[in-house]
Amino acid sequence: MKKINKANPIIDIPVAERRYIDKNSSKFRKKFLFFASFLILFFSLIGLSIKSSFKSNIDKIDPSILGHLPYKETLKEELVLIEPHIWVHKDMSSSLIRMQKDAKMEGVSLVFLSGFRSIKLQEKIFYSLKSIRNQNAKERARVSAPPGYSEHSTGFAIDFGDANHRDTDFEVEFENTDAFKWLKKNAAKYHFKLSFDKNNNNIDYEPWHWRYEGSIQALKVFEASNRR
């Protein structure tokens, strides 16, 4: 019997490949990543700075025209009639009427001369009287707001007169009346503020013109004016 020699199978053993790290390449990679991260952070900060500066410049743009700030016309649903032809914002109506009654109890008769005015009516007042009085726009704007720039359009402004001195209606002389003296002393209790005092450089002094600041909506409307 022949002896069978069993062949040993050839086993392929993968040769381990030893890789050597290039120290110079590793250092370069680390430096590159660090520098790239620094650049990303740097330009991100620059971008934020530019954006902030741009927004700041936009905020600094003066939206006023001839000294008057822009005001939106309030909705009709926000208005109430307190006297014939006198409409005011519903937020201030109760304070206004209460103030008139309290003044009356002290012997002072406050008259409501003008409340809400539409932008369309303000346009007629501004341009018609400008033409009649032969005024240029800057001259006219000292005594009357351009359309879209009147506090009266918000419904939060009111013009007062003195029932005993009707000759002072819409006149600087109104400041000499008992009505104005009472308003100056008491109006703040009812959240009213004189809009155009003697320190205004662009708009003439109007002792009869007051505005209401007794609600959040009113404060928002007049925020820009109060920041001046």
pLDDT in tens, 88-116: 999 999 999 999 999 999 999 999 999 99
Percent of the chain at pLDDT > 90 equals 67
What is the pLDDT confidence band of residue 34, given thresholds at 50, 70 and 90?
low
Provide DSSP, the chain.
-PPPPPPPPP--PPPPPP----HHHHHHHHHHHHHHHHHHHHHHHHHHHHHHHHHHHHHHS---BTTB---PPPPGGGEEEEETTEEEEHHHHHHHHHHHHHHHHTT--EEEEE----HHHHHHHHHHHHHHTT--HHHHHTTSPPTT--GGGGT-EEEEEETT-GGGTTSGGGGGSHHHHHHHHHGGGGTEEESS-TT-SSS---TTEEEE--SHHHHHHTHHHHH-
Q: pLDDT at residue 58 above 50?
A: no
Q: pLDDT at residue 57 above 70?
A: no
Q: Does the global pTM surpass 0.75?
A: no
**What phi, psi does 11 have (nearest 5°)?**
-105, 120
Residues in Cβ contact with 143 at an 8 Å cutoff, skipping those fewer than 6 apart? 203, 204
Q: pLDDT at residue 174 above 60?
A: yes
Q: pLDDT at residue 9 above 80?
A: no
Per residue in 69-81, pLDDT (tens digit) is 999 999 999 999 9
What is the pLDDT confidence band of residue 63, given thresholds at 50, 70 and 90?
confident
Percent of the chain at pLDDT > 70 equals 74
Residues in Cβ contact with 202 at an 8 Å cutoff, skipping those fewer than 6 apart? 66, 67, 68, 141, 142
Q: pLDDT at residue 46 above 70?
A: no
For the chain, the average pLDDT equals 85
Residue type, 53: S
